[in-house]
Homo-oligomer: A and B are copies of this chain.
Amino acid sequence: MKTISRKEEIIAVASRLFKDKGYKAVSMRDIAKAMDIKAASLYNHINGKQEILSEIILKVAEEFTVGMKKVVSENSAAIDKIEKVIEMHIDITVNYSEALAALNNDWMHLNDTDLKAFVKMREDYEENFRSIIKQGVEACEIKPYHPEVILFSILSTLRTLYLWYQKRGKLDVNILKKDMVSVLIKGLI
């Protein structure tokens, strides 16, 4: 009986519109028109425009947080952890490809409370990733580049992946994982 509620439908439609034009450039009337109803009707299901943005962004942000926590708690080599993070990132990209645009570009339009929560999650995520890389450098699993540059390089690639995943016609996930892991990691060892 698992059907999607009207609220989830609004969020899905909004995600798609936000992806193309950005949060501020999409009006409630735009969202309503895309659903063939009037703007006022949206308020039977959601409390406001900002709430839509929160639901989109925080849901995915929590996925990242949970995924990272799982990887960190593993008892394995740093290089394997990095591989796991890359694969986790790709999985989330595939499952939430529409939401990632808002997460990357419109997070600053969250309300104060949600903004603080988001920034905290993001900082923690980066800090965890940084620790894994440092651990790998110290254990000599990874070449002694500046950890910050490695972190930045991998993270930029993963964070922009959603753009290419959509443009290049939704490639096969397993092939994608294999290629990305190769390109991003092989140079480090």
A interface residues, Cβ below 8 angstroms from B: 20-22, 24-25, 105-106, 108-109, 143, 145-146, 148-150, 152-153, 156-157, 159-161, 164, 168, 179-180, 182-188
Contacts and interface: CB of A to CB of B under 8 A. Distances in A.
Which 10 A/B pairs are nearest by Cβ-Cβ distance? A187-B187, A24-B24, A156-B160, A24-B25, A156-B157, A149-B179, A153-B157, A152-B164, A156-B156, A186-B187
Given A149-B179, A183-B150, A20 B157 contact: no
Contact of A20 (B108, B146, B150, B187): B108
Stoichiometry, copies per complex: 2
**Which residue among A143, A145, A148, A157 has the maximum number of chain B CB atoms within 10 Å of its CB?**
A157
Nearest to A189: B187
Contact of A160 (B160, B179, B187): B160
B109 A179 contact: no
A145 B20 contact: no
A145 B25 contact: no
A137 to B, nearest CB: 13
A145 B179 contact: yes
A183 B105 contact: no
29 contacts: A21-B108, A21-B109, A22-B22, A22-B24, A22-B105, A22-B106, A22-B108, A24-B24, A24-B25, A25-B109, A105-B105, A145-B179, A145-B182, A146-B179, A149-B179, A149-B180, A149-B183, A150-B183, A152-B157, A152-B160, A153-B157, A156-B156, A156-B157, A156-B160, A156-B164, A157-B157, A185-B187, A186-B187, A187-B188
